[in-house]
Structure 1
Amino acid sequence: MPKFNLLLPTTLVGSYPQPDWLIDREMLSHGVARVRTPQLWRVAPEWLERAQDDATIVAIHDLERAGLDIITDGEIRRESYSNKFANALAGVDGHKEGALKLVHAGQTRSIPVPLFSGPARRMRPVEVRDIAFLRAHTDRRIKITLPGPFTMSEQSDPGCYASREALAMDLAVAVNDEVKDLFAAGADVVQIDEPWMQRFPDRARQYGVAMVNRALEGITPAMGTTALHLCFGYAAVVPEKPSSYSFLTELEESVVEQISIETAQPKLDLSVLRGLPSKKIVLGVLDLGDPSIETSDTVAKRIEGALKFVAPERLVIAPDCGMKYLPREVAFGKLQAMVAGASMVRAKL
């Protein structure tokens, strides 16, 4: 494929809103699924794959109409960004769920998570059909996401493992196998999602970079572009966000090429980007906690703020995070504004 030289290319972080006829969006709003949650789907199991394919085609067309340069499949087939891949692995107990206690706003709650009663292993490709389907339905550059090993280990009950670190290492091997197959199937960009590095920065500092490097071992630029998304969580789940990352510049030591961050909703101090001098930055410029649609001028100003610290050749433009929880018309309008704002800045360079 010819080298992609467009300045300030636009993309999606990963997800796009799923249609109401496909998924129960009210039930979806209750939390982010960690175990498989088939009751979210409104379509009977025997028709579900075909329905997901149809909804994916609609999402692809929306992203093309909005003008994105690099598109995803909208993660239309997923109940959450992480549970499809995590629960497809050997080692996940098929009879029992684990439990994870989380503290938020002073309240402790327990959520069901995958329980590893055996070694975590990838038995077969999990998302290869998804990327092949996307490749068959667009001639634009394409990207796919999968959960990173650190985040999956934190979203699981380690069960038979002596530590989360040991589980994360086996998960990194599984991710590495999947990444290689995704590039072979036509992906231009493969992104691993690691939001829980931000949530648990102490453990991330101990072994997070090592896990990323193992997950991307043997991946070369000739195969495609690697990215890592680090965020504070979906705006629908985390409406109030800190203005700085607790784990970010440490990723300068990783082999990943692009770091995807959110800057609009948290009003991030962009001087932190000086700490990632070798990385391309996927800059979040759409506030997904605000239901109003940004103007192109607002987007342009957010991009120009980053250009004080990062050369335009090192910037990719995106929403802050996944758009899964937004109304479709709002998501589409925001993407149109993003593309227009990037075009305005590009014209000045």
Structure 2
Amino acid sequence: MAEQLLTAVVGSYPQPDWLVDRELLRQLMAPRIRVEQIWRVPEPLLEQARDDATVVAICDQERAGIDIITDGEIRRESYSNRFANALSGIDKERHGEIIGRTGVRIPVPLVSGPIERTGPVEVRDLEFLRAHTDRRIKITLPGPFTMAQQAVDEYYGDEESLALAYADAVNEEVHALFAAGADVVQLDEPWLQSRAEQARRYGVKAINRALADSPGTTAVHLCFGYAALVKDKTATGYAFLAELEDSAADQISIEAAQPGLDLAILKSLPSKTVMVGVLDLNDPEVEAPETVAARIRRALDIVPAGRLIVTPDCGMKYLPRDTAFGKLRSLAEGTGIVRGEIQ
């Protein structure tokens, strides 16, 4: 029965203070363009340092007892900017500017040519993860809808066309990641929720194109934003979620703990495995395992154990490392309590 109630992380894990300037990282908060000044280690040693920090992230997840782990996104300045800026068609000299999800103007990639994947971006990351653990592994990519929302377009002249071009690039990377040994490939699509009108027009179309003919398990994560940035989150539900029942993704990942989400919304995803956030990343205190167990039980009132994976609400990038580790340990221990009840 333990296989029916797995634990996983959403994606990121805290980067060490010796690797990144965490205060600058917090000020920038998920940058869309490259911000290489956050790295504390000089370039000749940077790749080795990021490898070492990735091993730490892997080991922390294993020690905490997590079933499906990631590389912690240690090599990234944000969840999206590394992949998004590695594609051709992104202007190397200029950037654009948009109003972000919080109403602040932010710099973003400027699309001045055709979006194309010219080579692997995260394949080495996946290979490194696979070489350093025997557990199931997941790797994340920014989704095509979100990347299109996080860019200024001077080439396509149509936001749907831009999203579909991103989808083609993502699809090539998805296939390469599965070929390199991924168990799960996840698309991060937080902007589906904040741009619901556009998402209803072409969000699922872009996701399905990005995941077309995938040979392994695929997932889509959507959220209200990092807890470090967004404090007030609605309990009434996502503006865009039920539509993902028609997507090609096998798994849908949502946050639920911080907003106190009404989990009845999960009834709208009857064919999907759901990853439900049971760790509130806005709370600096580490949840007791019984608190986690109670949140899992509420999810099990709606979703059977065979379709439920329990996770943090979102990426843990902006937490202190000891807090993140403590929360993951409570996640595993709380899940263990509930596993014992359903056996």
**1:103 deviation in Å?**
6.7
User: Which of 193, 207, 219 is the matching residue for 1:227?
Assistant: 219
Structure 1-normalised TM-score?
A: 0.96
Conserved? CA contact 2:97–2:107, under 8 Å? yes
User: Which of 333, 341, 344 is the matching residue for 2:337?
Assistant: 344
1:236 aligns with 2:239: no
1:10 aligns with 2:7: yes
- Alignment partner, residue 210 of structure 1: 205
User: Which of 98, 101, 108 is the matching residue for 1:113?
Assistant: 108
1:180-213 deviation digits (Å, cap 9, x = unpaired): 0000000000000000000100000010000010
1:58 aligns with 2:56: yes
Aligned residues: 340
Distance 1:118 1:131 in 2: 28
**1:99 deviation in Å?**
1.1
The within-5 A match list for 1:121-160 is 121-160=116-155
1:305 aligns with 2:305: no
SS in 1 for 2:6: coil
Distance 1:295 1:103 in 2: 32
SS in 1 for 2:219: strand
- Alignment partner, residue 288 of structure 1: 281
Distance 2:128 2:267 in 1: 38
Alpha carbons of 1:249 and 1:290: their partners in 2 closer, same or farther (altered >3 Å)?
same
1:103-140 deviation digits (Å, cap 9, x = unpaired): 74xxx532110001001000001000000000000111
Distance 2:73 2:286 in 1: 22
Unaligned runs of 5+ in 1: none
Structure 2-normalised TM-score?
A: 0.98
Distance 1:139 1:307 in 2: 28
Distance 2:301 2:116 in 1: 44
- 4+ residue segments displaced more than 2 Å: 101-104
- Alignment partner, residue 309 of structure 2: 316
1:287-338 deviation digits (Å, cap 9, x = unpaired): 0000000011010010100111111100001000000000000000000000
1:41-81 deviation digits (Å, cap 9, x = unpaired): 00101111110000000111111000111110000000000
Distance 1:49 1:310 in 2: 42
Distance 1:102 1:189 in 2: 29
Distance 1:34 1:173 in 2: 20
- Alignment partner, residue 254 of structure 2: 261
Distance 2:156 2:20 in 1: 35
Unaligned runs of 5+ in 2: none
- Alignment partner, residue 35 of structure 2: 37
SS in 1 for 2:7: coil
- Alignment partner, residue 80 of structure 2: 82
Distance 1:102 1:81 in 2: 15
The within-5 A match list for 1:153-232 is 153-219=148-214, 223-232=215-224
Distance 1:144 1:102 in 2: 25
Alpha carbons of 1:103 and 1:229: their partners in 2 closer, same or farther (altered >3 Å)?
closer
Report the RMSD for the aligned CA atoms in angstroms.
1.1
**1:102 deviation in Å?**
3.6
Q: Which amino acid in 1 is paired with 2:70?
A: T
Q: Which amino acid in 2 is paired with 1:29?
A: R
Q: Which amino acid in 2 is paired with 1:217?
A: A
Conserved? CA contact 2:101–2:194, under 8 Å? no
SS in 1 for 2:5: coil
User: Which of 65, 68, 82 is the matching residue for 2:66?
Assistant: 68
Conserved? CA contact 2:11–2:315, under 8 Å? yes
Pick which of 131-140 and 236-245 moved more.
236-245
Distance 1:317 1:80 in 2: 23
Q: Which amino acid in 2 is paired with 1:268?
A: L
1:88-112 deviation digits (Å, cap 9, x = unpaired): 00000011111112474xxx53211
